[in-house]
Structure 1
Amino acid sequence: MNSKDLLICMQNIKKVFYTDEVETRALAGIELDISQGEYLSITGPSGCGKSTLLSLLGLLDQPTEGSYRLAGTEVAELSIAERARIRNQEIGFIFQAFNLIGDLTVAENVELPLSYRNDTGRKERRERALESLDRVGMAHRLNHYPAQLSGGQQQRVAVARALVGQPSILLADEPTGNLDSRNGEQIMKLLEQLHHAGTTICMVTHDARYAAMASRQIFLFDGQIVDEEEMERRRDEEDMRVRELAAGIA
């Protein structure tokens, strides 16, 4: 991989949560590189650390240990204000729950990330919002409110909002989780189109079909990246433990 194309470099990333003197190791030595223009999917069983990893990638949390370099910058050296600026300008978020604001129109929701910048006036914000909505096929709904849209349409608006700031990477957390299969497939086709247009995407999903649509897959298990064969072996072991437990209870 050309170092000039390397967007994200994580080395020995660990994350430990402490609650009521209980230590929970969410991530245990993650090594991960993501290059510009790549489409990466992260999958694994519930509780394996997928959402924790995505939160670290999006600068929503900090690792307990390890190095995270984003576009050549060591994240640990950034101030809180610098982290917030980078989140706004370099990272686009797509959430399972859409997170649209109900009393704002579609256009106003998409404009929102730009309103926190000092370099875009009202006219430019609206123009960029319309361009972003057009990319996801929702420009005709710009004056509607979220409640007037279907789930699939709301997620398209959420994708437009993530794109409007022209980020370096899109982070998608279970983007089809609240959608039926038809709308889920449409959102996945949209992400695929964005990737072919050059967008860098990192997606967490529990759906193996959608994970396979990415250009690269990684598997998490117990806070570690494992290969597909190891993933299946650990799943089989976990299933066996569950069956043995159920048999013991019975």
Structure 2
Amino acid sequence: MKSTSTVLPTSAGAGAPLIRLTGIRKSFLSEELETRALDDVHLEIRSGEFLAVSGPSGCGKSSLLSILGLLDSPSAGSYELNGQQVAQLDNRARAQLRNRQIGFVFQAFNLISDLSVEDNVALPLSYRPELGRAERRDRVAEVLALVDMAHRARHYPAQLSGGQQQRVAIARALVGRPSLILADEPTGNLDSRNAELVMDLLQTVHRDGATLCMVTHDPRYAAMAQRTVALFDGRVVADLPTAALQPQRQPAEAL
């Protein structure tokens, strides 16, 4: 697999805080009932970090990822991305920031069925008027080569396996050279072999400089991250280096 050093942005001061959430709350109202999806969440994600977010269904993982991805706004609290306060931005400004700073990888791939692989990957660049046709074409070719899908550039999603579709989705996430990649259960719709291939790819992308935040139910894949944040009932109940959350083996002489 090729290096992503020319695909991802070079971050000044690697390891600096990329994201800072302070007192984030998210509530939903239905009739007279208030459901609090997130409750006083404080979280930092540093540039170049691989973070896993885990927890049971309904604990707030999807709400957290939607706020991180600027797809939703918190009910209270502040969100700082690359030093910019973003929680109160209007829809247009949020869309522009999302397009330039964030890449998404979804469980369901979310490829457009009547677009070819290369056109699916190029889609985020269609909102970048400053990029000429040649540069867009070069960027698409670069990321398709990275995920080993250049030979499928003219195919359509229905002609691909699930694993291939997810690799195309990763290429689409990378093509805009975002500061942050959000992966929402990226292996959830894949068999074990393709899941391993996708995780190998995400690990390579991270090693080459990506900041990666991944929601997963699978402890095997959470264990690949550098750090794990565990949610329960909308609150952060653990925020530790992943190694600290792994069961410790007893010394051989104690067995």
TM-score higher than 0.5 here? yes
Hey, what's the Cα distance between the residues in 2 that align with 1:68 and 1:59? Answer: 10
Alignment counterpart, residue 194 of structure 2, candidates 183, 204, 212? 183
Q: Would the alpha carbon gap of residues 3 and 98 (structure 1) be closer, same or farther in structure 2, given more than 3 Å must change?
A: closer
Hey, what's the Cα distance between the residues in 2 that align with 1:214 and 1:128? Answer: 27
1:34: which partner in 2? 45
Q: Where do 1:89-128 residues align within 5 Å?
A: 89-128=100-139
Q: Where do 1:1-250 residues align within 5 Å?
A: 5-227=16-238
Which letter maps to 1:10?
Answer: L
Q: Greater shift after overlay, 86-95 or 72-81?
A: 72-81
5+ residue gaps, structure 1: 230-250
Q: TM-score, normalised by structure 1?
A: 0.88
Hey, what's the Cα distance between the residues in 2 that align with 1:145 and 1:123? Answer: 22
5+ residue gaps, structure 2: 1-12, 241-255
Q: TM-score, normalised by structure 2?
A: 0.87
| SS of corresponding position for 2:138 | helix
Q: Which protein is richer in helix relative to its size?
A: 1
Hey, what's the Cα distance between the residues in 2 that align with 1:76 and 1:226? Answer: 24
CA shift for structure 1 position 77: 3.7
Alignment length (residue pairs): 228
Runs of 4+ in 1 over 4 A off after TM superposition: none
Hey, what's the Cα distance between the residues in 2 that align with 1:5 and 1:180? Answer: 36
| SS of corresponding position for 2:59 | coil
Which letter maps to 2:143?
Answer: S
Hey, what's the Cα distance between the residues in 2 that align with 1:218 and 1:185? Answer: 22
Q: Greater shift after overlay, 146-155 or 220-229?
A: 220-229
| SS of corresponding position for 1:60 | coil
| SS of corresponding position for 1:134 | helix
> Over aligned residue pairs, what C-alpha RMSD do you find?
1.5
CA shift for structure 1 position 81: 1.2
Which letter maps to 1:204?
Answer: V
